[in-house]
Amino acid sequence: MPDLKRTFLGVERSVGGRRWIHALDPRAEAASARMAQLSGMPDLVARVLAARGVAPEAAADFLLPTIRDLMPDPSSLTAMDAAAARIADAVERRERVAVFGDYDVDGAASAALVHRYFAHFDLRCDIRIPDRITEGYGPNARALADLSDAGATLIVTVDCGSTSLEALAASAARGIDVVVLDHHQVGTELPPAVAIVNPNRQDDLSGQGHLCAAGVVFLTLVAVSRELRRRGRPASDLPDLLGDLDLVALATVCDVVPLVGFNRALVVRGLDVLRARRNPGLRALAEVARLQGPVEAFHLGFLLGPRINAGGRIGDAALGSRLLTLRSEGEARDIAGELELLNAERQAMEREMLAEAEQEIHAENGTGEGPPILVVGRTTWHPGIVGLIAARLKERFGRPAFAISFDAGGRGTGSGRSIAGFDIGRFVREAVAEGILVKGGGHAMAAGLTIDRSRLADFRLRAETMAGSTIDALRAEDTLAIDGALGARGLTLEMVRTIEKAGPFGSGHPAPILAMPRHRLVSSGTVGTGGHIRATLRGADGATASAIAFRAAGTPLGDALLGRRGEDVHLAGNVSIDRYQGSEKVTFRIADLAIPTI
């Protein structure tokens, strides 16, 4: 647990408005020392694990998680046996199957997993990914009927379907067999289906609610293979599910589910598969993304994932899932190239929309603090990118944010992103209940909504009156937990590789935050088109280091980096290895900056 009482380097308020604290309280400090003594691991690795609640006795297994030891019994998930039996029937009867998935990375990877499983048996498996704008999220009755009319006798929905009451009721009325494999929160009322496997359904006691959809699909396919073996099919005739863990790892990281327990094992093993680059689609995508060196979890979330998502945001939503199913090198290169172009277009649109959103915020609030929840919207914005804009505004201004795209008729589609401690999904659902929003929902950190422009002022007023004191209190208590300190001379490849032993890092197991106390800001300047700021730092002993702050231009952090050249500053951030044309160098990724007071 972070020690909320002890400030780190005496920083009570950084330029980012945060209080720096020790990541380890006295109990965690003792656990760290015991962990290093028991296992012989480097002190820094022990500190990182102890700060994240890993017990000394569990450290060795945490660093080397295995699928065998951590995989739950698939049958512990409600309705799993019924789902496995129906899918096994489809294999044995050589049925034509269809998959209906979501348009994000998790949906694309989940659909590809099911497709590749049936392809092993040379069975036809069609994939249908809805258009984000014209169809929206989840299965619709027309699409399911079309799949059935085309010959599918079983439809598997992945990363969606748990709340599709009307669509699945219509399918049931037509006699269409549907199996739902999902992970989203769901109420007590479930749609009719052969089976709904969702660890977050209220009657599921498996404890696997942290899985993304691809994790649920993986467990389901394990159960299907087990059922087929029980029916007499030899193991040698079954797909190599471990060989497709690259897809599961990709989805797990990109869907930002906790990298703990079984999820951690899926990612560690999946990264091993990814590094072998056996999947033609992922190999082609890594090439167009210019990914050099071994694949890390960071690359999945920031290089590969956004390119797959680009199709669902502004292009053909099915491109990502199609890419992940391919066996042909040539077709994989073509689709990867198309996704690369779409991603570049998405980035340009995002920059323009973000600039307009910030202009709107500054025009309405001037130099003032602004409202507790930011709400911006325009008719010219692409609805597939508003979620990214909301996320960028949340990062930049440190408060919840909504971005809304209005159509010509005044109907708006928007997304919201929140800060820790404020349940934005609940806020949206309450606004729906009050009649301010047409519809909406979500979870604690992200939400979606539909609103009429005539109610925009009411929504903003509700945000200010209902959330103001809560947001102000949360922002005042904002802290940054520091795992340790080092100087420029300590930024070595060996040190970074030591830290990486505690990885992979992500949600639930964040990358360690290190402080660089009192370093001279020798130089700084913007680079690229994304508002990044690169800086050179020099320690008291004369050693220098390269650093970068992503998307910092125009923020308090960026202003400090550009305005305090030649001064001594405290810096906090992560370390990484940058690889280019066979060379490697360490870069410090700046997350925050503070002015030394003593």
Phi, psi at residue 366, to the nearest 5°? 60, -130
CA 90 to CA 97: how far, in whole Å? Answer: 8
Q: What is the DSSP letter of 506?
A: B
pLDDT(135) > 90: no
Give the pLDDT confidence score for residue 209 in this predicted structure: 94
SS3 241: helix
Q: What mean pLDDT comes out for the span 238-264?
A: 95
- Bridge partners of 3, per DSSP, are 22
Give the pLDDT confidence score for residue 367 in this predicted structure: 55
SS3 466: helix
pTM of the predicted model, to two decimals?
A: 0.92
Could you tell me what percent of the chain has a pLDDT over 90? Answer: 82
pLDDT(6) > 60: yes
pLDDT(369) > 70: no
Of the candidates 249, 242, 246, 239, the one whose C-alpha atom is nearest the C-alpha of residue 88 is 239
Phi, psi at residue 547, to the nearest 5°? -140, 160
SS3 560: helix
Give the pLDDT confidence score for residue 1 in this predicted structure: 65
- For residues 113 and 140, the answer to whether their CB atoms sit within 8 Å is no
Give the pLDDT confidence score for residue 187 in this predicted structure: 83
- For residues 534 and 525, the answer to whether their CB atoms sit within 8 Å is yes
Q: How confident is the model at residue 129 (pLDDT cuts 50, 70, 90)?
A: very high
Question: What one-character-per-residue DSSP string does 131-194 give?
Answer: -TTTT-SS--HHHHHHHHHTT-SEEEEES--TT-HHHHHHHHHTT-EEEEE--S---S-----S
- Bridge partners of 590, per DSSP, are 573
Who wins on pLDDT, 472 or 486? 486
- For residues 348 and 447, the answer to whether their CB atoms sit within 8 Å is no
pLDDT digits (tens, 9 = 90+) for 267-320: 999 999 999 999 999 999 999 999 988 899 999 999 999 999 999 998 899 999
CA 15 to CA 571: how far, in whole Å? Answer: 10
CA 415 to CA 22: how far, in whole Å? Answer: 34
Q: What mean pLDDT comes out for the span 534-553?
A: 96
Q: What mean pLDDT comes out for the span 216-232?
A: 98
- For residues 203 and 220, the answer to whether their CB atoms sit within 8 Å is no
Maximum Cα–Cα distance for the chain, whole Å? 76
Q: What mean pLDDT comes out for the span 391-411?
A: 94
Q: What angle do CA 397, 421, 300 make, to 5 degrees?
A: 70
Give the pLDDT confidence score for residue 370 in this predicted structure: 77
Alpha carbon 438 to its chain centroid, in Å, reads 27
Q: What is the mean pLDDT of the chain?
A: 93
SS3 117: helix
* Tokens 């960071």, located at residue: 298
Q: How confident is the model at residue 368 (pLDDT cuts 50, 70, 90)?
A: low
Give the pLDDT confidence score for residue 144 in this predicted structure: 97
CA 349 to CA 159: how far, in whole Å? Answer: 27
Domains present along the chain, CATH in parentheses: 69-341 (3.90.1640.30), 369-478 (3.10.310.30), 483-594 (2.40.50.460)
pLDDT(393) > 80: yes
| Range of weakest confidence among 88-97, 525-534, 535-544 | 525-534
